[in-house]
Amino acid sequence: MVKEMTKYILIMIVLCHLLFNLSMAFALNSKDVVRLKKAAVGDRLIKEVISSHAISRALISVEEIVEMKEARIGDEVILAIIREGSATVPELDREDIEDRALKRKMKRHQILVEMQRKELDLLVEYLSRLITNPEVIKLVHDGKVASEDYARIIKYLKQYARGEETIEYGDQGDIVIDIDKGHK
């Protein structure tokens, strides 16, 4: 058990060391800054490379900057390449925030649509039960509700379920049906 634990700890130390060295390979260090200065790179460009994390984000390498300087490409051109090549870290952070907000908004809309779909399914089920209700059908068969009125009720309920206007049924959109409660 102790041997396995020691082996595990040793592996973790080696991995941490490798990860640290790998991250340092993509970071601008003091040797890189000296190399850039020797290649006649101006302080403004070096500051931009540092602040934009251009090296760690692999937008450009120290070697590429040195090659461009050897080809007598000016600092302003290299700055433009870095600036136009990618958004800065704060801009990326803003985009991430906007993306997360958009995802939350989309999720809310999906939930709303799902709720509306469930509500519509319940309404359709309720209307189906109402239209096929034996008591309502008995009222029509017994002549207490005229078949034309029953057809108007069904039309009204369908329009209501679809969210259509029901203005032909009254000022408030209500249907008025006279149900004869008397006995024959």
Is 61:85 a contact under the CB 8 Å cutoff? no
Domain boundaries in the chain? Answer: 2-86, 133-184
Q: Does the structure show a pLDDT above 90 at 182?
A: no
State pTM to two decimals.
0.36
pLDDT value of residue 184: 43
For 51-95, what is each residue's pLDDT tens digit?
A: 877 777 777 888 889 999 999 999 998 888 888 765 555 666 677
pLDDT value of residue 12: 67
For 99-120, what is each residue's pLDDT tens digit?
A: 888 888 898 889 889 898 888 8
Helices 75-85, 62-70: crossing angle, 10 deg rounding: 140
CA distances from 124 to 36, 56, 107, 115, 150 (A): 73, 58, 25, 14, 17
CA distance 124 to 97: 40
The better pLDDT of the pair 26, 143 is held by 143
User: What's the half-sphere exposure (Cβ side, CA atoms, 13 Å) at 126?
Assistant: 10
pLDDT value of residue 38: 92
For 129-159, what is each residue's pLDDT tens digit?
A: 877 888 878 887 888 877 787 787 778 777 7
The mean-pLDDT minimum among 26-30, 159-163, 176-180 falls in 176-180
pLDDT value of residue 40: 93
Q: Does the structure show a pLDDT above 50 at 183?
A: no
Structure tokens at 109: 């809309």
